[in-house]
Chains A and B, each alone.
Chain A
């Protein structure tokens, strides 16, 4: 985590507050479809690549109809990539069974599963980021509550999100003052670390106490009331059903392969 990450969260927050057809779709619908998407993508056998390609359509459509800048999402995907890369790179090393040859270059099944892991990573992370960017934390939280996530947990999510910026700002200020006093060295000595973080903790707790008093003064009784939209509209149903049908079709038949065959027939 660095300071730049905070700007990034702020940016996602801005994107989530926009008003486009995709943003207007019920948060529950988007959350369920995205979850189904990820489950279907991950249900393919480990060396599948071509059958996965049609699934790129879902994040791409969400992002483009939601007018989310693709570069922003791509950057986030790249930043999150190392873990999947590190674990995935062992596949080509462990699994050297040759499966095909392109000219003199032999493709092993390990490389195919590696490519499959990376592509799945792009798909799943892209879909999750698209969901958040097209929904925003507040709507998403309310939707989760309506889906039956325990109230205390939804309230906790919204509270955490609301105070992220405030506490991070506090932490940022403390770090800046440390940097100003520490001669250009970036990281702290351990001795200073304990008391610095301890101070940050106490300040945060004090703030929580003040927040609590202010809330009680305004009638807080232990429950946050989230504005709820009543019902699913037609567009929401269409969104859910349309995508689910697409996922089932694309899971059942390898659309990309079929397209390749058609093309091979047309162009002799």
Chain B
């Protein structure tokens, strides 16, 4: 359930970057304070282990499908929340870098959704209170399943909120929630089973591996949870008020959006509008249609009552857009081919 860059607006992505960046800095400090040196290679290798574990599937009886370990919960069980958040973040970063799973702008969102909830909500509040260190018993199974489901549900819900706040997907809130939560209920059960299976094996085969969970895990308090949520709330509130000031009907807009009644202009309006202003001031060659994007947004900003009229589309402008767009694409590819040919030539020339 990695959120992709293409569905996230810069405001939402940036906000969650700040939140996740703060979490990482906080956890990095905590890990450094409680650092046993051997935690460093252990964290690295366990991150790699998560990757390897994700390529091994087990069959789910009766369904014909298969499942695998997601990793957030088991990392927290093994390492404690602070170190686990760092490991999960690093796994997500490598996935974003090498597999385009999620993206760079959405990385903050993904770290928050897949890292914060299992490490700072599901583990300390649910897993630890249910399991109470009895890893070999049925408590461990129940705890793991409930914790994994809760963590994934919170994460999936937060995916919906982030996508919705970005306003790029037109999917109505209700439909999106109904789509995401049941799927992640199933994924959560699988995740919980897989986590419990591995933990109970380790508890039997080498119990001391679970007992040596670093001290940071033993004394987790509610503080980081509250701090994290507070940072998120303040940051989101800040962004929202910024919207409210630049976009007088921001709230109305989002309500209309959620209820799916009206279709108005997209958000990102803060940046968008200020850029449009700059553009209006500096527009050169106005009769070349350069100002058409401005014309699109400004009316909806001021009137914002009816559904956004598709802007002043004369046949001329849209045709020039299509032709120009295709030309630009062709030109970009051509430039690429030429540059590549030249740089290869240079290498051969030198060699």
Q: Is residue A109 contacting chain B, with contact meaning CB distance below 8 A?
A: yes
Task: Give the contacting residue for B37; candidates A83, A99, A195, A220; CB below 8 A.
Answer: A220
Q: Is residue A188 contacting chain B, with contact meaning CB distance below 8 A?
A: yes
Query: A46 contacts B168, CB within 8 Å?
Result: yes
Query: B98 contacts A160, CB within 8 Å?
Result: no
A residues near B90, Cβ cutoff 8 Å:
153, 156-157, 160
Query: B198 contacts A205, CB within 8 Å?
Result: no
Task: Please give me the residue from chain B that is nearest to A210 by CB atom.
Answer: B41
Query: B321 contacts A49, CB within 8 Å?
Result: yes
Task: Please give me the residue from chain B that is nearest to A255 by CB atom.
Answer: B328
A6 to B105, CA, bound (A): 24
B residues near A149, Cβ cutoff 8 Å:
24
Query: B266 contacts A160, CB within 8 Å?
Result: no
Residue among B101, B321, B326, B337 with the most chain A CB within 10 A?
A: B321
B residues near A263, Cβ cutoff 8 Å:
320, 323-324, 327
Residue among A39, A42, A140, A164 with the most chain B CB within 10 A?
A: A42
Within 8 A of A (CB), among B45-94: 45-49, 51-61, 66, 68-69, 78, 86-87, 89-91, 93-94
A76 to B324, CA, bound (A): 28
Q: Which stretch (A89-97, A227-235, A236-244) binds chain B? A: A89-97
Within 8 A of A (CB), among B278-335: 278-279, 282-283, 285, 288-290, 292-293, 296-297, 307, 310, 313, 316-329, 332-333, 335
A113 to B61, CA, bound (A): 40
Query: A128 contacts B49, CB within 8 Å?
Result: no
Task: Please give me the residue from chain B that is nearest to A215 by CB atom.
Answer: B41
Query: B335 contacts A87, CB within 8 Å?
Result: no
Query: A190 contacts B193, CB within 8 Å?
Result: yes
Q: Is residue B209 contacting chain A, with contact meaning CB distance below 8 A?
A: yes
Query: A194 contacts B332, CB within 8 Å?
Result: no
Counting contact residues on chain B (CB < 8 A from A), the size range is 35 or more
Q: Is residue B343 contacting chain A, with contact meaning CB distance below 8 A?
A: yes
A220 to B153, CA, bound (A): 41
Residue among B56, B59, B172, B297 with the most chain A CB within 10 A?
A: B56
Task: Give the contacting residue for A43; candidates B61, B197, B271; CB below 8 A.
Answer: B271
Within 8 A of B (CB), among A175-216: 175, 186-190, 192-202, 204-205, 207-209, 211-212, 215-216
Main secondary structure of the interface of A (DSSP, over half): helix
Q: Is residue A106 contacting chain B, with contact meaning CB distance below 8 A?
A: no
Known contacts A45-B297, A99-B313; is A252 also within 8 Å of B41 by CB? no
Known contacts A76-B100, A84-B7, A152-B32; is A160 also within 8 Å of B201 by CB? no
Task: Please give me the residue from chain B that is nearest to A20 by CB atom.
Answer: B343
Query: B168 contacts A121, CB within 8 Å?
Result: no
Task: Please give me the residue from chain A that is nearest to B101 by CB atom.
Answer: A80
Task: Give the contacting residue for B170; candidates A38, A80, A94, A128; CB below 8 A.
Answer: A94
B residues near A39, Cβ cutoff 8 Å:
10, 13-14, 105
Seen from chain B, the residues whose Cβ lies within 8 Å of a Cβ on chain A are 2, 4-10, 13-14, 24-25, 28-29, 31-32, 35, 37-38, 40-49, 51-61, 66, 68-69, 78, 86-87, 89-91, 93-94, 96-101, 103-105, 163, 167-172, 175, 193-194, 197-198, 200-202, 205-206, 209, 260, 263, 265-266, 268, 271-272, 275, 278-279, 282-283, 285, 288-290, 292-293, 296-297, 307, 310, 313, 316-329, 332-333, 335-337, 339-340, 343-344, 347
12 contacts between A and B (CB under 8 A): A1-B68, A9-B98, A42-B5, A64-B336, A76-B99, A79-B100, A94-B260, A151-B28, A174-B56, A190-B197, A195-B201, A205-B209
Q: A171-B55, A193-B194 are in contact. List 6 more A-B contacts (CB 8 A).
A: A5-B99, A43-B271, A47-B310, A88-B7, A121-B5, A159-B45
